[in-house]
Amino acid sequence: MASELVDVLRLLLGDPPHPSVLSDDAGIEGWWALHQRVAQPYATTVGRAFAAGFAMDRLGYAFASGYTEALTHLVPTLEGHRAALCATEKGGGHPRAMETRLEEVEDRYRLVGEKSFVTLGAHAEELLVVACIGTDDHERKKLRLVRIPKDRDGVRLVDGPASPFVPEIPHARLLLEGARVARDEVLPGDGYEDYVKPFRTVEDLHVMAAAIGYVAQAMRRVEAPREQLEALGELATSCFALALAEPLDAAVHVALGGAWKRFRVLVSELPWDRTDELTRTRYERDRALFDLAGAVRRQRLDTAWGRLGRLSIPG
């Protein structure tokens, strides 16, 4: 994958940033068409996230590209599909909070429950639903991940209000009213340990990649200082490498913590005052995205440091 990293760096630092072909009324369909076109030449999901972010005219669409490629990284058969991970419920995203049930009915299953936040809302074509199938011997919930189309009978998406930042990206509440599920729509593995837990790291890296792509083209347009562009290139290299590593490894998560902090500092120091008024206004509005789930991210980093300190050192 080293050659693809070089291609990414040449895109961010060498290729002329072209004007976005998105119009203000392009919406999710316009974003998706552009995402597919610019991401297609890249073999890795993180490469596609960088390329898509570089093509976008706002942080919201870059985020959507990073989110989409993060899901494809975990479930490769999602490539070419708009999807959403449906995990969070009224009580949060921890396994204890999962009340949505996957009930067995004859030769198939059905889904019953509610999810409180679905990224992309009704624009998601495929839904990845975390559901409980019972408890183990220690009374811990057993979770599975179910993949179903959003137009399945018994699936209802209720649009939520626009977010104060990245308002272009819709979200919705998901109501599952006995939606039928075939056995082959239940993905292998544990719904939390094999999907939700690693997704936290995978999403951070892919969204960072797309954001670096977007920021790089915005700064190239205003001829930001060369040393700042060099720093973006160095950060892109770290992000690319970490995205190909095992997301549940404590060392990977600690390194991600450092990369995320450097990214936030670097972005805050860039000359946004040189950009046009629309770009600057959108950035000021949308930069709150980088603070989202900050407390949860810090807690995960502390946990990773704790795990790293307990690992044995090879002799």
What the chain holds in terms of domains, given with CATH numbers, is 2-75+194-310 (no CATH), 83-186 (2.40.110.10)
**Token couple for 287:** 């930069």
In 10 A of CB 310, how many CB atoms?
Answer: 7
Residue-wise pLDDT tens digits, 209-263: 999 999 999 999 999 999 999 999 999 999 999 999 999 999 999 999 999 999 9
pLDDT tens, 134-190? 988 777 899 999 999 999 999 999 999 999 999 999 999 999 999 999 999 999 999
Contact (Cβ atoms closer than 8 angstroms) between residue 182 and residue 108: yes
**Cβ within 8 Å of residue 67, ≥6 positions away:** 119, 120, 203, 206, 207
For the CA atoms of 212, 213, 217, 220, the dihedral, rounded to the nearest 10 degrees, stands at 50
**Cβ(243)–Cβ(297) below 8 Å:** no
Q: Could you tell me which residues come within 8 angstroms of residue 154 by beta carbon, excluding any fewer than 6 positions away? A: 110, 111, 176, 177, 178, 179, 180
**What whole-number distance in Å separates Cα of residue 168 and Cα of residue 215?**
18
277 vs 274: CA distance, rounded Å: 9
10-19, 183-192, 271-280, 298-307: lowest mean pLDDT where?
A: 10-19
AA letter at 135: T
Mean pLDDT score of the chain: 93
